[in-house]
Amino acid sequence: MAERLLEVEDLVVSFRTYAGKVHAVRGVSFAVDAGETLAIVGESGSGKSVTVQAVMRLLTTPPAVIERGRIRYGGRDLLALSEREMQDVRGREIGMIFQDPMTSLNPTMTVGRQIAEGVIRHQKLSRSAALEEAVRLLGEVGIPNPEVRIKQYPHQFSGGMRQRAMIAMAIANRPKIVIADEPTTALDVTIQAQILELLVELQRTHGMAIILITHDLGVVAKMAHRVAVMYAGQILEAGSVDDLFYRPRHPYTWGLLNSIPRIDAGERKPLVSIPGSPPNLIDPPKGCPFAPRCPYAMEICVRRMPEETPVPPSGVPLSEAGAPETVGRTAADARSSGDADASHRPTAVRKTGRSAAGAGHTVRCWLMHPMAPKVEPPIAAGRESRV
C-alpha cells in the first residue's frame, strides 16, 4: 500500500472584500499518496488554485482567511507551523510549478541564480556547487546548452523553456510532492504535450507525487491516477481516472465530459455547453451549488447539500425508481412553492468517513439516494476516446 503523504481535511478558505465575504473553498477534503497524480479539475473560479495555495500557505492574509481545516504532512499540521518552519517545507518537501512562469520568475535575476537560491537554502551548498546543480537540473528538464542558459534572464527564454525552468526549480530539492497549477496554460499544443511528457518522466524517475490543477480533461486523461471534480468551492465527485471518464455519477461531471469536442461529431453538431453560471460565493447556496444549472435537480437539492457517498460497483443502478413526490420534485418547483414539511424529506445520505479523492469513487449528489428517481447518465464525450 502506498504511503499517505498529504491529507487535507475540511478546508475552509474565505476572502474579505468590499463587496462582502467570498466563500472560496468550502469544506474540501482530499488525500495524496506517494508516487500518484491527483488531478483537481473544474472551471475557472471553482477554488482549485486557492486550495493548493492554502496547502502551501501562500495566500495573502488579509484578505484571505483560512477559517477551518487541517493540512497534515509528515505527521504535522501545516496550518499550525510558524512561517519559518513552513519555509523548510516549501521547496524541500513540497515543490510548486506556478501557472504563469513569466510573472513567477524574477525578471532581474538570471535563471541559474534563481534555481541556485533554493538549492543553497535547502541543501546548504556553496554558490559554485549550487550553480553546477542548476546546470544539471536545466539539462534534466530538456533545456539545451544549460551552461549558457543559466546566465540568461527569463525574458530570453521561450514560454516552453520558462516552464521547464520552473519545473527545474520545483524538483531541485527532490520534494515528495509537486503541485502543478495549470502547468500548460498559454502554451501551444505541441509544447503542452512536451511539458506533460516531461512531468510524467520526472515522476517516474524521482517517484514524486503530483497534484495537478487543471480545467483541461485531456490533460487529466493523460496524466492522472485519481481525480477530484470541484465546483463553487466544493468537491462534488472524486475517484480514479477511469471512474470519472467511464462511470461518472454527478451531473456536473456529465456536463464537463459532454463539453469535450469530438473529432468524429460532424460539422453540423454544435458544441455542448452547461447552461447558466456558477453561483455567487458571497452568498453561496445552502444546497447543491450546481442545482440551479442541473436538469435533474430536485427540491432537496436546493435545500440541503448531500454528504459524500460511495458509488456502487459498475452495473449497479444509480438509484431505485419510485421516489416519493417530495424527492422527485424539481428545483424549479421548490423555488416556486417554498419549503415543504421536513417530515417529507429523505434522510441524509450517510457519511462515508473517507476523505474525498482519498479512496474509492465518491459523489455528493441526491441522485444517489435510494428514493431518488432513476437517472441514466448521458453518454459522455471522451469516455470512448480516452487513451
Task: Find residue 23's DSSP bridge partners.
Answer: 14
- Residue 380 lies inside a defined structural domain of this protein: no
Q: Do both 238 and 345 map to the same domain?
A: yes
With 0-12 / 13-18 / 19 or more C-beta atoms within 10 angstroms meaning exposed / middle / buried, residue 120 is: middle
**Cα gap 2→47, rounded to integer Å:** 27
The pLDDT value recorded for residue 265 is 59
The pLDDT value recorded for residue 135 is 95
Q: Do both 74 and 214 map to the same domain?
A: yes
Q: Using one digit for the tens of pLDDT, what is the confidence trace for 72-103? A: 998 899 999 999 999 999 989 999 998 888 88
Q: Using one digit for the tens of pLDDT, what is the confidence trace for 194-228? A: 999 999 999 999 999 999 999 888 889 989 999 99
Sorting pLDDT into bands at 50, 70 and 90, what band is 344?
very low
Q: Do both 161 and 268 map to the same domain?
A: no
Q: Do both 213 and 183 map to the same domain?
A: yes
Q: Using one digit for the tens of pLDDT, what is the confidence trace for 288-337? A: 999 999 988 888 999 999 999 898 776 555 444 323 333 444 444 433 44
Q: Is the dihedral of CA 228, 229, 234, 239 positive or negative?
A: negative
Q: Do both 335 and 195 map to the same domain?
A: no
**How many domains, the chain?**
2
Domain span holding position 114: 4-224
- Residue 377 lies inside a defined structural domain of this protein: no
The pLDDT value recorded for residue 210 is 96
Q: Do both 163 and 310 map to the same domain?
A: no
Give the mean pLDDT of 111-136.
Answer: 92
Mean pLDDT of the chain: 84
Q: How many residues does the chain have?
A: 387
- Residue 364 lies inside a defined structural domain of this protein: yes
Q: Do both 215 and 262 map to the same domain?
A: no
- Residue 53 lies inside a defined structural domain of this protein: yes
- Residue 381 lies inside a defined structural domain of this protein: no
**Cα gap 38→36, rounded to integer Å:** 6
The pLDDT value recorded for residue 378 is 67
Q: Is the dihedral of CA 159, 220, 274, 280 positive or negative?
A: negative
Exposure string over 349-368, b if 16+ CB within 10 A, otherwise e: beeeeebbbbeebbbbbbbb
The pLDDT value recorded for residue 90 is 92
Q: Do both 138 and 167 map to the same domain?
A: yes
Exposure string over 25-48, b if 16+ CB within 10 A, otherwise e: bbbbbbbbbebbbbbbbbbebbbb
156 vs 384, residue with greater confidence: 156
The domain that holds 202 is classified in CATH as 3.40.50.300
**Domain boundary residue, one of 182, 206, 224:** 224
Q: Pull the grid cell for residue 261.
A: 469536442
- Residue 382 lies inside a defined structural domain of this protein: no
H or E stretch including 64? Answer: strand 64-73
Q: Do both 206 and 262 map to the same domain?
A: no
Sorting pLDDT into bands at 50, 70 and 90, what band is 371?
confident
Q: Do both 202 and 240 map to the same domain?
A: no
- Residue 383 lies inside a defined structural domain of this protein: no
User: Is residue 113 scored above 80 in pLDDT?
Assistant: yes
User: Is residue 247 scored above 50 in pLDDT?
Assistant: yes
Give the mean pLDDT of 40-53.
Answer: 93
343 vs 239, residue with greater confidence: 239
For 186, left (φ over 0), alpha (ψ -120 to 50), or beta?
A: left
- Residue 72 lies inside a defined structural domain of this protein: yes
175 vs 358, residue with greater confidence: 175
Q: Is the dihedral of CA 130, 131, 135, 137 positive or negative?
A: positive
Q: Do both 272 and 358 map to the same domain?
A: yes
**Domain boundary residue, one of 186, 204, 224:** 224
The pLDDT value recorded for residue 200 is 93
> For residue 50, what are the CA distances in angstroms to 7, 169, 352, 381?
16, 21, 25, 29
Number of Cβ atoms within 10 Å of the Cβ of 128: 9
Q: Do both 237 and 156 map to the same domain?
A: no
Residue with C-alpha cell 479512496? 359
